[in-house]
Structures are given as structure tokens and as C-alpha cells.
């Protein structure tokens, strides 16, 4: 099913992208020879008018082939004086055709996201609650600013807030390094300012977010590749009751107990469907986290979530605000990658997208549409990067043409495109290899291969 959801989701995003190129090209009087979803051998094809429509074997992209477009060397060589050739059109017309694809991807979320809130999706219950601080993280900017559990946020950066649903986007906005707060405490309203230090930027920004304190029951979610807990017989949904005879009340306590083991075997007691089970688990050291782990992620209690739906006006407003937040998050990730604050290992490729698509679909159509909107934003922004072979690369070539009053020589364009293709293929290979390791684990794959012989 993961593959099916992946094909449906990615296929829609690719179709919308290529449809943008196609429609503007047709409207501009350019002859479109082929509209393809996917690359490689054509599996399904038919012709309508002068255009061939097809679905090709590799579903990782698509293309619109226009007469006189330099990227395609097959078929008829179109004279430059052909009025319907792409190369014969004005710079402005060609620019519109190139930008239409990313524009459609950036427009799609503003259609999908209101639908998400109209249909409804699973949301944490605290989003509809008053903005009371459930806790303040130790040694966090919030604690240093003097905030206390039980304080109620009245305003965030000058904007009045009544619920966590209104406050959280302001607190979590990607560019936020400081917050101006009005806080109600024992009948008084206090002005507070929280500033994130550079040393704290990689952790939770402010230390007052509800996610740090709610839904922290020690429930097992998913397993990492080569997970010691899975090897010991643990299952998703298990609740950890004790570790080495010491009761466990929350996820943080379990994590601390595991790390304190320094790799020695631990006796776990878990509850599964009312039955208590004992198992011995040997933690492994995680180089990225710099601590001992048993290879599990935190699961959530169903009681923590509720399905929320909004009226049309509120859905449009919520959708717009959510899109702005996702745009900001995407730009922040790009900035962190460029400044080397983030690694390519934090990116997700086709395998990870397929896995996440299936998980979102299981939670309902609202969650699946939310994921598609987020992916569409990323696809649109990434396509605008000035990398040859991407739409942004073509825009860069056209910018040169506009300034120099002549196109960049073909030889230099081909060299730039080859470099761009090499960089993209390298990144795709690295991300895919990382996907395989994070989803299945190379050790498990090698073990299965050895079992065949």
C-alpha cells in the first residue's frame, strides 16, 4: 500500500507541475509534442491533436516536450524561424512557461489546505485549550526568562491569543529567535521576553511548547532499523511499566534509564493488551544522538488526539496560516543545508516519502492531503533553485540572456546542465541510500541476503 499512496501522491504533484508548463505553453501558441508523467519507456500513450500523452515507466518526475526546446534532441529539428517553436518566443513568454510549473505547485497548497481543515484531521486536543503553560523545560530560554508552569500567555509578539492553536504558530515560526510575551500570573499581567542563544538553537527553541510535557506516556511507537527492542520481542503499542525493576512513568524517564545503562542489558516489563511481558534488551550507542538507545520512537495515546473540522471561512484562514508556516519551515531547512547546520541525512527521498504517505493515509484523507500540500510547497521551492536542469536553472539562463542581450552559449549551457545533473543524481543517491538505511537498515538487509545462501 505504501507504493500505491506514493504513486498517487507524487503523481498528482507531478501532474500539477507539468500541467502548468503545458497550459501556459498552449496558451502562448507553442507546439507541445508530448506530455509525459514519468521518464523512460512509455507504458501507456495516446495522441490527441498534435500532442502525445503518456505515462512512462519511472514515476519520479515528468516532462512537457515543446517544439524547439533545446533540452530534447530526439525527433525533428525545428527551424528557429518557426513561430510555434519555444525558442522562437520572446524571453518573457519563455519565462512564463518555465515558471508556470513551480507556480502551480506553490498554488496547490492554497487549494488543498482549506480542504484539510474542512474535512478535518487528527489534531492534539491541547490546540483548542487556553494558553496555559503545562511546564517549563529545565535550562531553557523560557526558564531563564522567569516563566513558570501555570502562567497563561495573553499575547505573543503583540498578537492576542486565546488557544494553543492560535499561539503555537507564533511560537514555532521558523525565523523566531526571540518572543515578546504578555503573561497572566495570579491576577497580574507581566511583560516577558525570551531570547534563544546560539547554543540552544538546535534544541527546542523556547522550552514552553506543550509537546514537551503532554502525551509523554512510555508507549512504543515505531522501531529503528536493527532495533534491540524489536529483536527482544517488543511491539508497537506496548507500554513500558518498569526497567530493571524501577517503575517508569514517562518517556523521558525511560530514556534516561536506558542511557544510564551504558550498554548493559536491561530487564523490561511491558503491558500488551492487558498482559504483562518480560524481556531483556541490550541498548546500543547511537553516534548521532550521543547516547544509548533501544531503537524505538515514542507512540501516542489515541486519547491525546481529536478530529477537528472548521467552517468554510475558518478553514480558508487556517489553511492560509498553515501554508505560511510550512513555507517558512521549508526555507529554514534550505538555509540550514546551505550553511551546513543541517545534513542531507535529514532529507527524505522516494522511500521515505512512500512510508510517510502510507502513514498519513492511515490517519485519514485530511492528513494525506496535508502531506501532499507540504510536499507540493517543497517541490515548488526546490524547482526554483538556480540549479541547471531544474526550472530555476532555466530562469538563471534567461536572466543572463536578459542582461547580456544574448543567450548563454550552448556549450556552456550543456556543461552547466551536466554539472547540475551530476549534483542532483549524487544527492538523490545519497538520500535514497539514507532512506534504505533508516527504513530497513543495511544490517537487516544483509542478514536477509545471507539467509538466501
Catalytic residue numbers, as ranges? 18
SS3 264: coil
Residue with cell 507553442: 30
Burial of 6 (0-12, 13-18, 19+ CB in 10 A): buried
Please tell me the distance from the alpha carbon of residue 311 to that of residue 450, in angstroms, as a whole number. Answer: 56
- Give the chain's largest Cα–Cα span: 83
Contact 229, 294 (CB under 8 A): yes
256 CB-near residues (< 8 Å, 6+ apart): none
Residues contacting 232, CB < 8 A, separation 6+: 268, 279, 280, 281, 282
- Residue 362 burial by Cβ neighbours in a 10 Å radius (0-12, 13-18, 19+): exposed
Pair 144, 196: CB distance under 8 Å:
no
258 vs 22: CA distance, rounded Å: 56
Number of H helices, E strands in the chain: 13, 16
Q: Which residues contact 265 (CB under 8 A, 6 or more apart)?
A: 280, 281, 282
The grid coordinates of residue 309 equal 473540522
Contacts of 385 by beta carbon, 8 Å cutoff, 6+ apart: 392, 393
* Gap between the Cα atoms of 24 and 96, Å rounded: 7
Amino acid at each position: 500500500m505504501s507504493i500505491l499512496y506514493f504513486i498517487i501522491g507524487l503523481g498528482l504533484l507531478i501532474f500539477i507541475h507539468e500541467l502548468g508548463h503545458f497550459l501556459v505553453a498552449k496558451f502562448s501558441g507553442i507546439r507541445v509534442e508530448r506530455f509525459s508523467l514519468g521518464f523512460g519507456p512509455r507504458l501507456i500513450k495516446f495522441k490527441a491533436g498534435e500532442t502525445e500523452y503518456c505515462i512512462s515507466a519511472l514515476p519520479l518526475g515528468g516532462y512537457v516536450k515543446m517544439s524547439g526546446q533545446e533540452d530534447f534532441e530526439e525527433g525533428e529539428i525545428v527551424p528557429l524561424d518557426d513561430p510555434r517553436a519555444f525558442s522562437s518566443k520572446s524571453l518573457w513568454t519563455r519565462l512564463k512557461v518555465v515558471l508556470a510549473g513551480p507556480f502551480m505547485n506553490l498554488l496547490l497548497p492554497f487549494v488543498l489546505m482549506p480542504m484539510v481543515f474542512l474535512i478535518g484531521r487528527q489534531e492534539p486536543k491541547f490546540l483548542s485549550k487556553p494558553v496555559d503553560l503545562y511546564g517549563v523545560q529545565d535550562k531553557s530560554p523560557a526558564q531563564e526568562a522567569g516563566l513558570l508552569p501555570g502562567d497563561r500567555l495573553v499575547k505573543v509578539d503583540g498578537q492576542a491569543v486565546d488557544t494553543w492553536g492560535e499561539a503555537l504558530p507564533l511560537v514555532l515560526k521558523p525565523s523566531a529567535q526571540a518572543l515578546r510575551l504578555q503573561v497572566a500570573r495570579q491576577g497580574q499581567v507581566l511583560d516577558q521576553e525570551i531570547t534563544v542563544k546560539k547554543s540552544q538553537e538546535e534544541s527546542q527553541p523556547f522550552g514552553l511548547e506543550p509537546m514537551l510535557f503532554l502525551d509523554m506516556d512510555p508507549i512504543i511507537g515505531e522501531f529503528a532499523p536493527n532495533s534491540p527492542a524489536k529483536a527482544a520481542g517488543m511491539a508497537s503499542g506496548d507500554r513500558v511499566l518498569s526497567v530493571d525493576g524501577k517503575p517508569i512513568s514517562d518517556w523521558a524517564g525511560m530514556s534516561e534509564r536506558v542511557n544510564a545503562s551504558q550498554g548493559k542489558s536491561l530487564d523490561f516489563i511491558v503491558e500488551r493488551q492487558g498482559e504483562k511481558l518480560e524481556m531483556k534488551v541490550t541498548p546500543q550507542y547511537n553516534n548521532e544522538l550521543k547516547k544509548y538507545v533501544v531503537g524505538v520512537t515514542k507512540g501516542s495515546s489515541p486519547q491525546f488526539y481529536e478530529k477537528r473540522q472548521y467552517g468554510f471561512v475558518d478553514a480558508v484562514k487556517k489553511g492560509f496560516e498553515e501554508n505560511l508556516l510550512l513555507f517558512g519551515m521549508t526555507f529554514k531547512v534550505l538555509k540550514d543545508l546551505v550553511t551546513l547546520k543541517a545534513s542531507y541525512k535529514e532529507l527524505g527521498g522516494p522511500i521515505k516519502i512512500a512510508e510517510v504517505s502510507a502513514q498519513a493515509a492511515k490517519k485519514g484523507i485530511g492528513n494525506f492531503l496535508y502531506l501532499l500540500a507540504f510536499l507540493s510547497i517543497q517541490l515548488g521551492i526546490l524547482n526554483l533553485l538556480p540549479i541547471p536542469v531544474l526550472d530555476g536553472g532555466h530562469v538563471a539562463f534567461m536572466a543572463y540572456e536578459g542582461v547580456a542581450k544574448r543567450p548563454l552559449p550552448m556549450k556552456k549551457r550543456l556543461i552547466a546542465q551536466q554539472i547540475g545533473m551530476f549534483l542532483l543524481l549524487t544527492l538523490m543517491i545519497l538520500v535514497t541510500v539514507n532512506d534504505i538505511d533508516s527504513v530497513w537498515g543495511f544490517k537487516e538487509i544483509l542478514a536477509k541476503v545471507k539467509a538466501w545462501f
